[in-house]
Structure 1
Amino acid sequence: MTMAIPSFTVETRTRASTLSAVAVVALLLLAFAAPFIVARGVIQDLFFILTMLVLAQNWNLLAGYAGLISVGQQVFVGFGAYTMFGCVILFGVDPVVAILIAGVFSVALAIPTAFFTFRLYGPYFAIGTWVVAEVVRLLLAQWKALGGGTGTSLPREATRDMMGVGAMRDLFGMKASEAGDALTYWLALILAVATIGFIYGLLRSKQGLGLAAVRDNEQAARALGVDARRMKTLVYLATAFMTGIAGALIYVQKARISPDAAFSVTDWTAYVIFIVVIGGIGTIEGPILGVIIFFLLQNLLADYGSWYLLMLGLLGIAIMLLAPRGLWGLFSERTGIQLFPVRRVLKGGPLNLTHRGGTHG
């Protein structure tokens, strides 16, 4: 006797994602070799792209997947940067080590701020995060040991002698400034890869399913047993950690800090939101495409002064009207291509089993 029993499998991988994985490996090898191939100015541009990508991916995880629209993420950029400066200037910690400490301290800041902001919903949550950022900025502006409202600079010997720079000078014959740029670039590349890897792994996990359920319908997710508050808190703390590290790394490369620059809502939140919106919110590919477009626009339009911001705003509005899911969302809808697929597809069909009966005498 033959019976047809349904056999199903759940898949996320696509042909495009398999091909893209090969391309990503090749691209990463080329990216790691970049300091030996291209000019120092290009390395600084790539550093900017990578750090903005990290900030954009974190804001996208927070808003696009957890449904937490924050306009105060600059608090973790600035606080992470100031933590790094404090560790280096006041305690003599190596900047590379101080970058990791900055991530931990950013999480420590996120815990009490989450207690406050998570009591707010929708636009009130967004305003609450901005208020928290302003309060932290005003407090750090009173820190006289780090320059107060005018800011301060890293000691030259701190960046010249930081971990890895001496080895790069000896091995590759680089100047201290070139070695410093190459080191911060490699750290930014590692951070970008780790951020995308973490987000992709999270979204493919059971926790990612719960996060998507919370984003789509929090009440229904709660009814199914998903702890929405716990999921949002974990995402908020994770983004604080990675954003704090990114902020510290950015200001290691800048080597000078001030409260207004470190907590700039334009540089670290408005531009990040623009990147995610034009690229495609709720996708990993969107911020990657968005940061490339933003960098090109910044170089093309930067000479137009205040018109530059106006043109960015008009472009953002046009894309939101014509392609609500962003440029990558529009492309993916037309082609079906996903480089980082997280949507689960049920595949399968009848599985034929043959049963042979015996005779009993």
Structure 2
Amino acid sequence: MTRHLPWMLAAALALAALPLLLGANAIDKLTTLFIYMLLAATWGLLAGQAGLVSVGQQAFFGLGAYFALRLVDGGWSAYPALFAGAVGAAVVAWGLSFFVLRLKDGEFAIATWVVAEVIRIGVMLDPLVQGETGTSLIALNAVEPELRRNLGFWMALGSLVLMLLVTAWLLRSAVGTATRAIGEDDEAAASLGVRVTPTRRRVYVLASFGAALAGVAWLASAITFLPRTNFGVQWSVLMLFMALVGGLRSQWGPLLGALLLFVLQESLGHLGAWYLAGLGVVAAVFALWLPRGLAGVWDDWRARRALAVTPLSPSVPSLPRSSTP
């Protein structure tokens, strides 16, 4: 990570300058791409590294935005409230972890989805949200549209860079080693002295914080808050697709999956149901024949290329056997 850090920061600075060069439509699309990448990276950390297949991360995507709305209604400024809302969602994730992390495999997946639905219904009962009608972060309307668009872009980009750096640091630490061991076999890891639940709790809270950052970045761009959209299970479906296609066990693979999803949406999204069917076919192809995703394909290509260009070692001539007189 240390070796690549200057290049990562240089790329982030270059991307941060794009609002000065590109039009409104391009900035909106790039903001969406960064949000997708953020969701993919955090879900990949949760499922690919820690072995926690959650179908309820949309709870934190929506909860961060809801907390921001509540804070603004209580007198906070909009942008500080957005970040504080994400932190609040992470605190909720920490509390929930004492319940959901007691479960394993399918039970964990179902429990996370049920918890997400309970949270969505609870939020809909708040008069501020107005049920299915939803509400808007009206305070953002006071910001000039171009500046608001650029701030949303920088928020999504900054959140993505922050989570990538934290994730890279985590995976190279002792916690990351423990996380990978747990992802391979939690019982074997526990027998070797790994503290399974505390390690998973750190990963679960970090991934939930990333999902909440994506949710508040989405709210900053869309302004409107609709419970069925912000808490929709489609977010977890997209996370699964991006991580599976990109490479579930790779740190960078889910980013490739997010890029592929974005390209498919832009080129085939107008086909409606056929587009959704196409996503299903792509996911099935990768699950059956390319289980390591795009990252695995790239690694295999590099390995074959390295093998092809590596010169053969010269043979060592054998020494003549000494003859006995």
* TM-score normalised by the chain length of structure 1: 0.81
* Structure 1 residues 27-38: aligned runs within 5 Å: 27-38=11-22
| Displacement after TM superposition at 1:119 (Å) | 2.1
Residue identity in the other structure for 1:279? G
Distance across 2 between alignment mates of 1:59 and 1:221: 22
From 207, 224, 229, the counterpart of 1:261: 229
In structure 1, the residue matched to 2:35 is 51
| Displacement after TM superposition at 1:85 (Å) | 1.2
Distance across 2 between alignment mates of 1:334 and 1:322: 16
In structure 1, the residue matched to 2:140 is 159
Residue identity in the other structure for 2:35? T
In structure 2, the residue matched to 1:324 is 291
8 Å CA contact 1:86–1:146 kept in 2: the answer is: no
In structure 1, the residue matched to 2:316 is none
Q: Deviating runs (4+, > 4 A) in structure 1?
A: 20-23
Q: Secondary structure, in 3 states, of the residue corresponding to 1:77?
A: helix
In structure 2, the residue matched to 1:295 is 262
Distance across 1 between alignment mates of 2:88 and 2:160: 20
In structure 2, the residue matched to 1:243 is 211
Higher strand fraction: Structure 1 or Structure 2?
1
8 Å CA contact 2:65–2:86 kept in 1: the answer is: no
Residue identity in the other structure for 2:136? S
Does 1:139 find its partner at 2:122?
yes
Does 1:116 find its partner at 2:60?
no
In structure 2, the residue matched to 1:227 is 195
8 Å CA contact 1:55–1:246 kept in 2: the answer is: yes
Q: Secondary structure, in 3 states, of the residue corresponding to 1:54?
A: helix
Q: What are structure 1's unaligned runs of at least 5 residues? A: 1-12, 163-175, 338-361
* Residues 297-328 of structure 1: CA deviation (Å, up to 9, x unaligned): 00111111111111100011011222111011
Distance across 1 between alignment mates of 2:10 and 2:34: 17
In structure 2, the residue matched to 1:341 is none
In structure 2, the residue matched to 1:212 is 180
Q: Secondary structure, in 3 states, of the residue corresponding to 2:133?
A: coil
In structure 2, the residue matched to 1:310 is 277
In structure 2, the residue matched to 1:352 is none
Distance across 1 between alignment mates of 2:230 and 2:290: 32
| Displacement after TM superposition at 1:161 (Å) | 4.3
| Displacement after TM superposition at 1:336 (Å) | 4.3
From 65, 72, 82, the counterpart of 2:49: 65
Distance across 2 between alignment mates of 1:199 and 1:294: 22
| Displacement after TM superposition at 1:152 (Å) | 0.8
| Displacement after TM superposition at 1:95 (Å) | 1.8
Cα RMSD of the aligned pairs, angstroms, is 1.7
* Residues 256-310 of structure 1: CA deviation (Å, up to 9, x unaligned): 11110111111x1111111111111121211111111111100111111111111
8 Å CA contact 1:221–1:228 kept in 2: the answer is: yes
Higher helix fraction: Structure 1 or Structure 2?
2
| Displacement after TM superposition at 1:23 (Å) | 4.8
Q: Secondary structure, in 3 states, of the residue corresponding to 1:71?
A: coil
Q: Secondary structure, in 3 states, of the residue corresponding to 1:38?
A: coil
Residue identity in the other structure for 1:316? A
Distance across 2 between alignment mates of 1:208 and 1:153: 39
Q: What are structure 2's unaligned runs of at least 5 residues? A: 305-325
Distance across 1 between alignment mates of 2:224 and 2:168: 34
* Residues 140-193 of structure 1: CA deviation (Å, up to 9, x unaligned): 1111122222101121xx21446xxxxxxxxxxxxx111111111111111111
8 Å CA contact 2:41–2:252 kept in 1: the answer is: no
8 Å CA contact 2:86–2:209 kept in 1: the answer is: yes
**Residues 241 and 21 of structure 1, relative CA distance in 2, 3 Å threshold:** closer
**Residues 296 and 64 of structure 1, relative CA distance in 2, 3 Å threshold:** same
8 Å CA contact 1:142–1:149 kept in 2: the answer is: no
In structure 1, the residue matched to 2:251 is 284
* Residues 62-92 of structure 1: CA deviation (Å, up to 9, x unaligned): 101111000010000111111111111x212
Residue identity in the other structure for 1:60? G
How many pairs are equivalent?
A: 304
Residue identity in the other structure for 2:36? M
Residue identity in the other structure for 2:298? F
8 Å CA contact 2:93–2:204 kept in 1: the answer is: yes
| Displacement after TM superposition at 1:238 (Å) | 1.4
8 Å CA contact 1:83–1:248 kept in 2: the answer is: no
Q: Secondary structure, in 3 states, of the residue corresponding to 1:324?
A: coil
From 76, 98, 102, the counterpart of 2:85: 102
Does 1:127 find its partner at 2:142?
no
8 Å CA contact 1:52–1:291 kept in 2: the answer is: yes
